[in-house]
Amino acid sequence: MIARGPDHVVVETAGVGYKVFVPRHPSGDEVLLHTHQVIREDGQFLFGFETREELALFELLISVSGVGPRAGLALLSVARPVDVAAAIAAGDAAALAKAPGVGKKTAERLIVDLRSKVGGVSIGPSSGELPDGDEAMAALRALGYTLSEAQRALAGVPAAGKATTEERLAAALRGR
């Protein structure tokens, strides 16, 4: 990384500097960013993320009509990816609307469009890690939790047959 701005970093690759918009500044001078390129009439833009899961969530967010890359970046700038996913799963439009450029209607559209998809933002766990088709476990693993972290998060949460996947995921992310 050769420079930092309020919402971007400039990274050098093979002697060429690239401006990459980021939700948070990575620590250190040497970084690995997973990028998403947007090409429009007025320019080409790179958006960078420290993890593949964060990139996948960004791409899921911008797949919603009316949510552009700046709004997706704003959502990930004001909350951790796991919190954004939890807000979507819990139907918490107020939490999503805290991001600049994301109003109540956009937040509600995100919830309606993504509530059932929020767990599929990454390559899921291997078949041996998903007990009895537990979708909440898969969602936590997709958000970057290790198997043991996901199991601890789901301890004390109602079982799959007694609560919806969204309710279980929201409870696990809240730490209950």
Inter-residue contact 73 to 42 (CB < 8 Å): no
Burial of 126 (0-12, 13-18, 19+ CB in 10 A): exposed
Residue 176 is predicted with a pLDDT of: 53
**What letter represents residue 153's amino acid?**
A
Inter-residue contact 46 to 37 (CB < 8 Å): yes
Residue 52 is predicted with a pLDDT of: 85
The model's pLDDT over 135-170, given as tens digits with 9 standing for 90+, comes to 788 788 777 777 778 888 888 888 877 888 888 888
- What is the set of domains in the chain, with CATH numbers? 3-49 (2.40.50.140), 52-118 (1.10.150.20), 124-174 (no CATH)
Residue 51 is predicted with a pLDDT of: 86
Counting as low any pLDDT under 50, the low residues of the chain are: 122-132
Comparing CA positions, the residue from 16, 17, 22 lying closest to residue 35 is 22
Residue 120 is predicted with a pLDDT of: 54
Q: For residues 150 and 160, what is the distance between their CA atoms, to the nearest angstrom? A: 14
Residue 71 is predicted with a pLDDT of: 94
From the DSSP assignment, how many helices (H) and strands (E) are in the chain? 8, 5
